[in-house]
Amino acid sequence: MDAAKPSPGHEISICFMDTVIAFRVAYVYENLDMTIQCKVSITGIVQGVGFRPFIYRVAKNNNIRGYVKNSGNSVELLLEGKETDITNFLNTIRSDHPPLSLIKDIQIDPCNENKHYDFAVLKSEKNGISDSVLPPDVAMCDTCVGEIFDTKNNRYLYPFTACTDCGPRFTMIKALPYDRENTTMSEFQMCGSCRNEYNDPMNRRFRTESVCCPDCGPVYELYKGDKKISSENPIKDAAIALDNGNLVAIKGIGGTHFCARTTDDDAIIRMRNILRRPNKPFAIMARNLNAAHNIVHFSKKEEDILLSPQRPIVLLEKKNLISSLISPGLSNTGVMLPYSGMHHLLFNYSRQPAIVMTSANIPGEPMAIENKDILSLNSDYSLLHNRSIRNRCDDSVIKLVNKKASFIRRSRGFVPSPLEVNGCESTVLSLGAELDVTACILKKGKAFLTQYIGNTLKLYTLEYLETAINNLIELTGTRNFDAIAVDLHPSFSTGRLGQELSTRFNAPLFKCQHHFAHASSLMTESGAKRMVCITADGIGYGNDGTIWGGEIIAIDDGFERAGHLMIQLMPGGDLAARYPARMAAGILAKKYQKNELSEIFSPYFENAELDIILKQIATKFNSPLTSSTGRLLDAVSALLGVCTERTYEGEPAMKLEAFAMKGKDRVYIPVIIEKRHGIYTLDTTRILDCIYQAKQNYPLPDIAASAQAAIARGLCEMAIRAAKDRNIDLIGFSGGVAYNDAIVRIAGKMAQECGIKFITHTIVPPGDGGISLGQAAMVASS
């Protein structure tokens, strides 16, 4: 085009991301350059991640005039400049955006407003289209770590140091847009120095809402018992208390940890008594990667996860150089690396290579976040700060299963970043099941899961769930729901809460079968259209009123139960879950007579209790029916003497997995599958009987390994047959048993050898922590 002839109103066009956009010339400057204007809206993870200062710098580098601002749920720009400069600008923000940001969409609309003479960062607006993507918390960056150990820096030894690339976000935020007045940092007035950094677009703390320093930010204080003690350096004195064998409760960014030395059996026993966790594994924090090397084995992939900005707990094979009481009976230990300034300073003062750091809560209840609640935990010392925690957020937990990262808990560092859900435009709220609960808001093709909530049998945890839902509703700008989804189980407290929310929002309530929701969750995260899914776990209310848990679910124009484990009695109901030898007796009752069962199980029970169990089996009184894989694994664990009492969820099966790692699959256990009324059934009585018989001739670890292998082969064989029946070429694995590496590996190899693709979860937990996603997707697509 002839540059000497343009005039205002003349139309030109530019091409961006294969889209041609037409503009009208806004102005013609003295040098006859054509100037165009456009408004740009960018959605994704673009608030609280240094996006506006990045935009400012790119605009200045490309001679762009106009402005940038947060607009409720997105970043809004007005750009004015030459067509080549605007094209370069748009391509740069698409390709070189900040590492913690994620661009979902860029909308460009030509405009013709008043002339701009510079580029500015404007105050945020509160409007928007209510599909916000919120920033998660991330670990302190290396630059900030360097500052807190730089004697010449004004933030020397200051634990709350942060910048645009790191620090708390979700745990501070109260409302959108993500500006300081909408966070818990609004309680702290910035000093002049911090305000200068905050207002300087070229500074890495520009618009960092958590910016503060020792002169204006939060502070730590140290308590002994419930009495505050005078301390010039509370973190240093807390480290000394730890080194001297004391228990220290430490309030962090999104919650509180109970801490002790990793080699101090007495301190760990006291911690277990206080927290009422006799056997549940504790996590540890290692000083650095070298310290972790001395405690656990890990691969390059596991190392990368440890060092990631999210800094989750990673389950790693232990070397037994720490107290066996940290994760008794297990082959692995949860390890994480420091992720806050306080952690780095604590290790700077402590002599410990690693510290036990477990969530400060009694079983089933939320982690303590209020100072008064932390002081009531009966630790020897408490290290507390005066910044409020708006959104409690437990540490995330990851385990490699079949060489792929699998979430056991998706929380800090990942929440509330959404998942993309193709083809779902409905707005649905789902509440999960009962244990390991998360809730989910599905809207406009995005699924927002809450942080880990826990066991909603507890009143405080149910209230926490409701609070987390209300926070997520506020932060996503959701006003109405098309549907509310809950578990099918008639007694779950989440179902009652769902009914209340259904009334509140005048939205229909849908009840989703537990294992269908597991399968739906895997379908949703993978984008699959047709699949046969192995859904194996401890418990889920079935469509027939029995307890499911070893299911083959075919998904092809609906959900169909295509197979399951043999239906077995649970003598005593919940007691059979707590004392799994009861479950073993119920399973073997199909093979042995009463007198034979009495002889087999006399080592496990007193005579009076055994008589009651045998009567329950004979009369089927208080003996619900189940096809649960979890209960079968528990029965194997009890029969082999690995674990005869469950003190936390999944304990017998987890200890069986660890025990089986010492053995090899060398005991012949037949896999017998029958098909009745079009549904495959795996004979689990035959499997458990073979295990019982093998005890006379084989090492117990070999039997354990062989038992797991037989269960894996039986589940996968049923899935393969169901897939071939329906001409489906994809098998998935979901449910809590999907954390068992041996079972998943064997099933995956078996499916692939048959030419069938095999998938597992990598984005949400395969356990009940991911079930809310499946519920929401089921309802949205119905």
Query: What mean pLDDT comes out for the span 600-628?
Result: 97
State yes or no: is 52 an active-site residue: yes
Residues 6+ apart with CB under 8 A from 32: 3, 4, 6
Specify the pLDDT at position 52: 85
Please list, residue by residue across 125-152, b when 16 or more beta carbons sit within 10 angstroms of its beta carbon and e when fewer do: eeebeebbbbbbbbbbbeebbebbeeee
State yes or no: is 595 an active-site residue: no
- Distance in angstroms (rounded) separating the CA atoms of residues 557 and 26: 53
- Distance in angstroms (rounded) separating the CA atoms of residues 564 and 715: 8
Query: What mean pLDDT comes out for the span 721-730?
Result: 98
Counting every residue, how long is the chain?
782
pLDDT tens string 63-80: 999 999 888 668 899 999
Whether this model's pTM surpasses 0.95: no
Specify the pLDDT at position 663: 98
Q: Which among 52, 287, 311, 392 is annotated as catalytic?
A: 52
Both tokens assigned to 364: 């089933």
CA dist 163 to 50, 53, 140, 174, 743, Å? Answer: 9, 12, 8, 19, 44
- Where residue 508 falls among pLDDT bands split at 50, 70, 90? very high
CA dist 730 to 76, 120, 516, 738, 743, Å? Answer: 42, 52, 16, 16, 18
Task: Return the higher-pLDDT residue of 127 and 684.
Answer: 684
Both tokens assigned to 474: 């506020």
- Distance in angstroms (rounded) separating the CA atoms of residues 697 and 695: 6
- Distance in angstroms (rounded) separating the CA atoms of residues 483 and 505: 9
pLDDT tens string 523-570: 999 999 999 999 999 999 999 999 999 999 999 989 999 999 999 999
Specify the pLDDT at position 571: 98
- Where residue 647 falls among pLDDT bands split at 50, 70, 90? very high
Specify the pLDDT at position 12: 47
Residues 6+ apart with CB under 8 A from 535: 515, 518, 519, 551, 552, 553, 734, 735
Alpha helices in 318-425 (DSSP H): 341-349, 371-375
Q: Which among 70, 182, 402, 455 is annotated as catalytic?
A: 70
pLDDT tens string 169-204: 999 999 887 789 999 999 999 999 999 999 998 898
Alpha helices in 512-552 (DSSP H): 514-526
Both tokens assigned to 654: 């987890």
Specify the pLDDT at position 132: 53
- Where residue 15 falls among pLDDT bands split at 50, 70, 90? low
Query: What mean pLDDT comes out for the span 497-507?
Result: 98
- Yes or no: say if 110 and 23 are a contact pair by the CB < 8 Å rule: yes
**442 in helix, strand or coil?**
strand
Residue 180, φ and ψ in degrees, nearest 5: -55, -40
- Where residue 129 falls among pLDDT bands split at 50, 70, 90? very low
Task: Return the higher-pLDDT residue of 474 and 2.
Answer: 474
Specify the pLDDT at position 26: 45
Question: Counting beta carbons within 10 angstroms of the beta carbon of residue 122, is it exposed (0 to 12), middle (13 to 18) or buried (19 or more)?
Answer: middle
pLDDT over 50 (residue 364): yes
Average pLDDT, the chain: 93
Percent above pLDDT 90 for the chain = 83
- Where residue 126 falls among pLDDT bands split at 50, 70, 90? low
Specify the pLDDT at position 493: 97
pLDDT over 80 (residue 9): no
Report the 10 Å Cβ neighbour count for 384: 21
Both tokens assigned to 51: 């996006």
Specify the pLDDT at position 8: 47
